[in-house]
């Protein structure tokens, strides 16, 4: 992996941690719940490990996503299709933006129905 690529992926990880409070490389219970106090976490090490794992999947051309949850399936479809368009290259940005907007709208609907404002 080129240094610029590693920095790009690590930066995305740091942004996810800061903006979405989402740290997929942090120690967890397997369901996204981090069981370690924040002061014991190492964001830089997480970002490095995440970059390594991300690049291995990208380099192989195969990303593991998992099974859809019924309530968020439509949003997942929109997001996955947007990702496929992004992987195809330039020229599809308007479609990508619309698909991600549809995904965001559907997630907002799910949150409203659940009354979940924890983010």
**Angle between helical axes of 73-88 and 93-114 (0-180°, round to 10):** 160
**In which element (H, E) is residue 13 found?**
helix 3-19
| 22 and 76 belong to one structural domain | no
118 pLDDT more than 60? no
What is the Cα–Cα distance from 33 to 6, expressed in whole angstroms?
26
Q: Are residues 28 and 16 in the same domain?
A: yes
The proportion of the chain whose per-residue pLDDT surpasses 90, expressed as a percent, equals: 78
- Name the domain count of the chain: 2
How much is the pLDDT for 116? Answer: 60
Provide the residue range defining the domain that includes 47: 1-63
Closest to 11 in 3D by CA, of 42, 64, 48: 48
Angle, helix 43-60 to helix 3-19, in steps of 10 degrees:
120
CA 70 from chain centre, in angstroms, equals 19
Which residue among 63, 93, 109 closes a domain? 63
Whether residue 42 sits in one domain with residue 100 = no
- Helices (runs of H) and strands (runs of E) counted in the chain: 4, 0
Above 90 in pLDDT, residue 117? no
72 and 109 co-located in one domain: yes
Are 58 and 71 in the same domain?
no
Q: Identify whether residues 1 and 59 lie together within a single domain.
A: yes
Each residue of 19-45: pLDDT tens digit? 998 999 999 887 778 888 888 999 999
Please indicate whether residue 35 or residue 83 has the higher confidence score (pLDDT): 83
CA separation for the pair 46, 14 (Å, rounded): 9
pTM over 0.85: no
Answer with the one of 28, 47, 63 that is the final residue of a domain.
63
């Amino acid at each position: 992996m080129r240094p610029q690529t590693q920095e790009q992926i690590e930066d995305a990880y740091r942004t996810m941690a800061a903006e979405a409070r989402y740290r997929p490389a942090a120690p967890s219970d397997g369901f996204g719940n981090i069981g370690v106090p924040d002061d014991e976490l190492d964001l830089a090490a997480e970002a490095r490990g995440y970059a390594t794992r991300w690049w291995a999947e990208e380099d192989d051309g195969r990303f593991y996503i998992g099974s859809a949850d019924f309530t968020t399936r439509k949003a997942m479809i929109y997001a996955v299709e947007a990702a496929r368009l992004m992987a195809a290259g330039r020229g599809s940005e308007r479609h990508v933006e619309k698909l991600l907007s549809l995904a965001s709208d559907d997630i907002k609907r799910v949150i409203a129905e659940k009354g979940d404002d924890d983010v």
